[in-house]
């Protein structure tokens, strides 16, 4: 088992940002600068980034800041295999080339994304579990507190299989992905879910997005479908995710 090694630390606006490694995995941890509970501990939200992005991409840092400032949470991201500064395998290079060729030719990328992300999930799930083990060793997080997962697009492709095997995750925000073969795994998930879908998604057919939402076995699940294309998810959905985690992970007593 690895411990988290912190490699850099900055602080601004009441938020501490620390880069870390867990074995070969690189990531970032955002935390409240001052404890927000008597115990000094706060719940942890894991965030998975989208394809081609990385642990500190603007969408990740923006969401992390809202979760820390408005929810009082710790927020952790890691670079997916072959993403950020992490090395690519020959298989990664090959799949990325196929994807780029399809995009350039205006051909559907869905089948390639689905296949490649399923492969990445197999590598990423044990990395997330090792990261969670290491982060729960930190006194300000601890092994007892609730854990959330928040990831769209590739973050959903990795997050759904992670959540299915990881009982420490008790609430999750997913969305913007195809149902096959993810829906089979989603049927095993019973924790509260918030799910984002773009009503005019040019990549994921509407029926496919609805089918993935439908597959979750959760008694508490909410679909947020917004008018607009794949990339036009409204910013206010990030605020909605903060409230979702606050409802389900519990806002630390202040």
Q: Per-residue x/- marks for its own copies, 194-213, CB under 8 A?
A: -----x----------x--x
Residue 58 CA to residue 43 CA, distance in Å, equals 22
Which one, of 83, 78, 71, 80, lies nearest residue 32 by Cα? 71
Give the residue, chosen from 19, 129, 240, 250, that forms a contact with its own copies under the rule CB under 8 A.
240
Binding of residue 219 to its own copies (CB under 8 A): yes
DSSP state of 71: H
Contact 76, 135 (CB under 8 A): yes
Which of 3, 188, 223, 250 contacts its own copies by CB under 8 A? 223
Structure tokens belonging to residue 88: 């690519």
247 lies in the site for its own copies, by CB under 8 A? yes
Q: With CB under 8 A as the contact rule, which of the stretches 23-31, 40-48, 166-174, 232-240 interacts with its own copies?
A: 232-240
Which is closer to its own copies, CB of 116 or CB of 213?
213
When asked if residue 110 is in the footprint of its own copies (CB under 8 A), the reply is no
Whether residue 28 contacts residue 18, with contact meaning beta carbons closer than 8 Å, is answered with yes
The closest alpha carbon to 134, from 8, 244, 1, 241, belongs to 1
Binding residues for its own copies (CB under 8 A): 199, 210, 213-214, 218-227, 234, 236, 239-240, 243, 247
């Amino acid at each position: 088992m690895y411990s988290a090694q912190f490699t850099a630390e900055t602080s601004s606006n009441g938020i501490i940002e620390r880069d870390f490694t867990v074995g070969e995995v690189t990531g970032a941890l955002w935390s409240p600068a001052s404890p927000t509970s008597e115990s000094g501990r706060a719940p942890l939200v894991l965030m998975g980034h989208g394809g081609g992005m990385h642990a500190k991409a603007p969408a990740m840092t923006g969401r992390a800041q809202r979760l820390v400032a408005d929810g009082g949470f710790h927020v952790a991201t890691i670079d997916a295999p072959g993403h950020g500064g992490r090395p690519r395998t020959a298989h990664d290079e090959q799949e990325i080339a196929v994807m780029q060729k399809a995009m350039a030719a205006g051909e559907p990328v869905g089948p390639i994304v689905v296949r490649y992300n399923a492969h990445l999930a197999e590598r990423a799930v044990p990395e997330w579990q090792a990261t969670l083990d290491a982060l729960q060793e930190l006194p300000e997080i601890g092994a007892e507190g609730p854990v959330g997962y928040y990831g769209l697009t590739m973050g959903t492709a990795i997050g759904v299989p992670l959540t299915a095997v990881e009982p420490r995750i008790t609430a999750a925000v997913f969305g913007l992905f195809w149902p096959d073969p993810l829906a089979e795994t989603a049927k095993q998930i019973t924790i509260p879910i918030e799910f984002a879908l773009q009503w005019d998604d040019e990549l994921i057919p509407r029926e496919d997005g609805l089918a993935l939402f439908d597959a979750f076995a959760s008694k508490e699940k909410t679909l947020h479908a917004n008018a607009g294309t794949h990339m036009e998810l409204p910013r206010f959905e990030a605020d909605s995710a903060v409230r979702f985690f606050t409802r389900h992970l519990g806002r630390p007593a202040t």
